[in-house]
Structures are given as C-alpha cells and as structure tokens.
A and B are shown apart, each in its own frame.
Chain A
Amino acid sequence: MDILSHMALGAQVILQPINLLFCFLGVLMGTLVGVLPGLGPTAAIALLLPNTFHVPPVTAIIMLAGIYYGAMYGGSTTSILVNIPGEAASVITCLDGYQMALKGRAGPALGIAAFGSFIAGTISIIGLMLVAPPLAKFALAFGPPEYFSLMLLGIIILIYLASGSILKALMMFVFGLLISTIGMDTISGTQRLTFGLLELCDGVGLIPAIMGLFGVAEVIANVEQAIRTDVVTSKVKNLLPNLRDWKDSFWPIIRGSVLGFFIGILPGPAPVISSFSSYAIEKKLSKHPEKFGTGVIEGVAGPESANNAATGGAFIPLFTLGIPVNSVIAILLGAFMIHGIQPGPMIITKHADLFWGTVMSMYLGNAMLLILNLPLIGLWVQVLKVPYPILFPLILLFCLVGVYSLNYSLVEIALMIGFGVFGYLARKFQFEMAPLVLAIVIGPMMENNLRLSLVISQGDPMIFITHPISAAFIFVMLALLISPLVPWIGKKRKRLQEKVEGEEV
C-alpha cells in the first residue's frame, strides 16, 4: 500500500479530539516525570495506565507513547541545569550540557536538545514507516554472541570517551563490571554479595548510582568551595541557539539520529548506548576533540538526538515481531494484550489504524514537546538564578525522593549516599564517572550474553568468530584498538591528555 495513503489514514486517526487530548496529556506527564530525577517513564506509565482502560486502544497507545518520549526529553533538562541526569540516557548530556550552563549558555543547550530531539524523533519515525519489517529481520540476526561482541565494541567507544588517562577509565569500567555482578545471578540463581538484603537481589540500582555519582557528589564538590559566587551571574542572554550553534550542531544531529535509530532496534538499554556512542563519534570526528567536556554544543546535540531516535527505533520490534526491547515497551505490549490486540508480525496489517495512528501521533507528540518546552526554557533558566545555598538542599531533596520513590527502599538511599562518597572522591582523584555508569548499565548484558554464548556453543570460544556479525564487530574492535598505536594518532591523544591532566599521562 502507498505510504501516503497510510499517512492519511493515520492523520485521520489522530485528528480526533480525544486522541489529540491524550497525546498532549502523555507528553506533558512524560516531560514532568522525566524532569524529576529518578522517576522515569515506567513510573509515569504505571501511574496513568489505569486511565487508559476506558478509552479505545489507539488512544491508549498514543498516550503511552507520548509519555515515553516526553520522559526522554525531560531527563535532559536537569542534566543541563544541575548536572543530575534524569535517567541513564541523559548522563552524557551532563558532560557538556552542564558546562554550557555554567558559562551562561543553558538556554542554547536546552534549545538544541529540544530541536535535536524533535528532528531525531522525526527521522526515526520516517525510518519506522519505511523500513520497519526488513529492519526487524536484521534485529533477529542478533543472538548472544553478537550482543557480546557489540558490548566489547562498547569498551572501545569508552576509550575514545576518556579525556584523561585510558588506564584509569578502564579501571573504572572494570570496577563497574564488578559492581554489576552484585545481586542474584539469573542464570544460576546464586546470590552474589547481597549480604542478605533482598533489595540487592536485582543488583545495584542504576538510579541510586547515578544520583549518587552525579547528584550528591556534584553538590558536595560545590559545597566544598566557600560561597559559590554564583554560577550564572553572567546575564543569561540568548535563550535560543544562535546561527553558529546551528551550524555546529547540524551534522551531529543527523548522525545522532541515524545512529540512535539503528541501535534502538536492538534489545537492551538502547537510549544509553546510543547517547554514549554518539558522543564518542562526535568527539572522534570533531576538529577540536580536546574541547569536549568543557561545553561544546556538539556534545549535547548528538547524544540528545541519538537517545530520542532510539525511542523511535524501539517501536519497531514491538510492531513487527511483538517483542519488547525494554521495560517501557513491555508495558505497551501488555496494554495491547489487555485491549485484546495480538502482538506479533500481523499487527501492522491487522490493526493498520493502530500502527499508523501511533506513527502519526509521534510526529504530533514530538511537535507538542517542542512547543511545550521552548517557552519553558526561560523558566528553567530562572532556576539557576536561585542562590546556591538554597538551591543545593532542594537538589539533594529531589535526589532523595527520586531514589526512594523507586522501590521505597532505605537501602537504596544508603547506596546513593555511598556512591556519593565514592563519586566525590573519584573527582578528587581524577577518575571519570562515565565509564563506571556505562559498565553498570551494560555489565549484566555482557555477562549474560557471554555465558549464554558459551553454553550454546558448549564451551567453544570460537563461536564469536564463526558467527559473521559477531566476527565483524570483533574485527572493527581490533582495528580501532590498533589505530592509537599508529604514531600520529597517538601523538594527538597524548596532547589531549596532557592538556587535561596537566602533568601526567
């Protein structure tokens, strides 16, 4: 069938008042929740799920989808303003976004994040429309060995991320891997280092870790200084990105969108992986990589686009195969089933109005997000003007509530405090946090897939090479590993590191 006639069908669906209303509600709720650190899209959806039973399935899906990408966008607001990521995917935005805010450029940062997300969302929806079924087949070709090799590649990305010593970044990564083993091992059922606490059974929570490493540690580091003569006393002019910003951000946005879209198709924490990857790629392609981490707009534009595009990509397996790639999509899947819609390859054809209605609603939702959030930028920037002595207790409060509201667990608050101590010390000792977070996020997946691969191959490690896609990843990884050894690239790195650490390599 013709794409245009599909779009027309979809447009017909969404232009009904009730769908418009629910789309707006979803996007609004999603953004609000995304801004509050800790509460993620899952919380918002769980909250609003009961209200969806009295409306037709299309409306329900439209609202729930709106919550999802609304929350993705909201998470970047706090990252930029106060260096606290709203969820794991926004961690990377903290790196340059917050630095931009410190220089009085919070407005442009927020603005480019908004526009980038919108453009990325649009691109990923186009992708969803055009290539959904073939892409789904591609995703199926990924089995445990492929995932493991992909994760290994992630380590290489990590190396490119490190602005300082590679060794120290790797150490943080390995440490993160070890931390990720805490909890009940799903494959064997054994408890690892849980000390009898049921709360640790599912592992060290990502949110307490992020809140601690970024939120608490940042606040403590600031508190150390005598009075913070404030952060943003420089007039916050220019609430919107200027022409220069647009020029710099154009390609990062495009690249981030495409990258995020493809990664989003794969099961797993796609928004996180895509934002990290985008940052690494932008840094690698940039003419001034040493400036990354000091407040370059590419470091915000790319990752923000990537993580939004990933949310679009995540819908593909849902609609084509009926498989959820993350917990948010899983809830959507459940919503399908409750409404009597059979998930699986037939959804697009049997429930065309649902699919196309959702697709068109995503355009609408993204547009609504943009319109909703741009005026809010002025408001958010005011937050920065609150004197720090009053602001920081409130920040801490948000961290505390954010963590507690996840599982109502005091243990997790204690974990956050522990991570706060560690994060504070890590800053002092010049160790980077991003590798640690990445490891906690992908550690379980890496371990699972490694073990699964070995079980399937009955102990034969060659399985990683005999599978073509996996072999390709390993080849790329080796190639990237060798390249720093090529002399002139190595020199460039050395210069970079010296700039950062002052005296040591």
Chain B
Amino acid sequence: MKSYNSIAAIFFLLIGIFFSLYARTVEIGALTEPGPGFLPLWAGLTLVAMSIILFLKSYARKAGTFRASFFPQPDSWKRVLAVFLSLIVYNLLLTPLGFTITTFLFLIFLVKFIFPQTWKRSLVVGVLGSIFARLLFINFLETQLPRGLLGF
C-alpha cells in the first residue's frame, strides 16, 4: 500500500503542476473578474499540496513494506491488455468497416480469446450479438451508427 500511494502521489503531483502551469497561459484574471485560468490555478496548486502530503504520509509509516503484486495472476496482464487493445481497435475500425461487422469481430475476438470458449460458442455469440445489436440500435432506435464501406 505504501508504495502504491507514493506512486499515486507523484502522478497527481504532476497533474497539479501541469494544470497550474497551463493556467498561466490563459488569463487568470483578478478577483473582480476571474478568468479562465482562475480555477485551474488554484485547484492545481491544491492538488500539488495534497500530493506532497500524501507522499510524505506514505513514508511516515514505519511498518514493513508490504507490496502486493499488481496482478492477481501471472497471465492477467495479457487479458487486461487484450481487452484494452480490442476496444481501441474497435474505435479505429468502426468507421471503415461499419457497425455490424466491427461488432461481430469484436465479440468473436473477446469470447474466443479472453476466457477461451469453443469456436462454435464464439461464432454464435458473435452472430447473434451483432445482429441483435444492429436491429436494436439501428432499426429500432434509429441511432446513426456507421454503415461502413459495405453499406451495412
């Protein structure tokens, strides 16, 4: 817990510094007319102060360092990364391939590869899922989801 807090403290410290510096590029304004930089500056400085306190506190503890491992299982990181990547790829493919196809690929990939299921299951979920989603969102709710190069 200790070292987690110190890492987090550094992260927030950087954020606070970033915003405080940024605030100076836009008008801070005076008390009579606070400008756009007013809140970012003060909130940023507050965050810096709090991060420093957190950092100090995490060192004040005398107890033995207990750092739980970050991932519960050795292969966790693969799954986590895979899911994130699949989301990013979905975002990228959505416009060129269109909603239905991208959804289909997305579902199949996740079902098959994260917690390995049989191909049959993956395909069933993929097909049913993307068709149902298409009907629900595009036809029934009339949301304007991309049609992609193939037109559907």
Contacts and interface: CB of A to CB of B under 8 A. Distances in A.
A67 to B, nearest CB: 13
A419 to B, nearest CB: 11
A185 B33 CA distance: 13
Contacts of A174: 16, 43, 46-47, 50
Given A178-B47, A220-B84, A410 B94 contact: yes
Contacts of A171: 12, 47, 50-51, 54
Contacts of B19: 178, 181
Interface string A373-401: 00000000000000011101110110011
Tell me the dominant secondary structure on chain B's binding face: helix
A431 B8 contact: yes
Contacts of A388: 115
Contacts of A392: 110, 114
B87 A216 contact: yes
Interface in A156-174: 167-168, 170-171, 174
Nearest to A448: B39
Given A447-B39, A503-B1, A417 B121 contact: no
Nearest to B34: A451
Nearest to B91: A413
Q: Which of B32, B43, B57, B70 has the most CB of A within 10 A?
A: B43
A503 B66 contact: yes
B129 interface: yes
B137 interface: yes
Contact of B88 (A47, A225, A417): A417
Interface stretch (A187-195, A253-261, A284-292): A187-195
A473 interface: no
A175 interface: yes
A463 to B, nearest CB: 11
A460 B32 CA distance: 7
Give the most central of B2, B5, B83, B103: most A CB within 10 Å.
Answer: B83
B32 A455 contact: yes
B54 A405 contact: no
Contacts of A168: 5, 8, 54
Interface string B120-152: 010001000100010001000111110000000
Contact of B26 (A39, A192, A408, A414): A192
B107 interface: yes
Interface in A208-235: 216, 219-220, 223-228
B31 A167 contact: no
A428 B39 contact: no
Contacts of B58: 504
Contacts of B94: 404, 410, 413
A461 interface: yes
Contacts of B106: 393, 396-397
Contacts of A175: 12, 15, 47
A424 interface: yes
Contact of A455 (B2, B33, B111): B33
Contacts of A431: 8
Contacts of B39: 177, 181, 447, 450
A239 interface: no
B117 A178 contact: no
Given A174-B43, A224-B80, A429-B7, A501 B1 contact: yes
Contacts of B40: 178, 181, 192
A321 interface: no
13 contacts: A47-B142, A190-B27, A193-B22, A223-B83, A388-B115, A393-B107, A393-B125, A396-B87, A397-B107, A400-B87, A405-B137, A454-B31, A460-B31
Interface of A: 39, 47, 167-168, 170-171, 174-175, 177-178, 181, 185, 187-188, 190, 192-193, 216, 219-220, 223-228, 388-390, 392-394, 396-397, 400-401, 404-405, 408, 410, 413-414, 417, 420-421, 424, 428-431, 447, 450-451, 454-455, 458-461, 501-504
Interface of B: 1-2, 4-5, 7-8, 12, 15-16, 19, 22, 26-27, 30-36, 38-40, 43-44, 46-47, 50-51, 53-54, 57-58, 61, 63, 66, 70-73, 76, 79-80, 83-84, 87-88, 90-91, 94-95, 103, 106-107, 110-111, 114-115, 117, 121, 125, 129, 133, 137, 141-145
Given A393-B107, A504-B2, 16 more contacts: A174-B47, A175-B47, A178-B43, A223-B114, A227-B115, A397-B129, A405-B145, A410-B95, A417-B88, A428-B4, A429-B4, A451-B38, A454-B31, A460-B31, A501-B1, A504-B1
Give 7 closest A-B pairs by Cβ, nearest first.
A459-B32, A389-B115, A393-B110, A459-B31, A185-B36, A405-B143, A224-B76
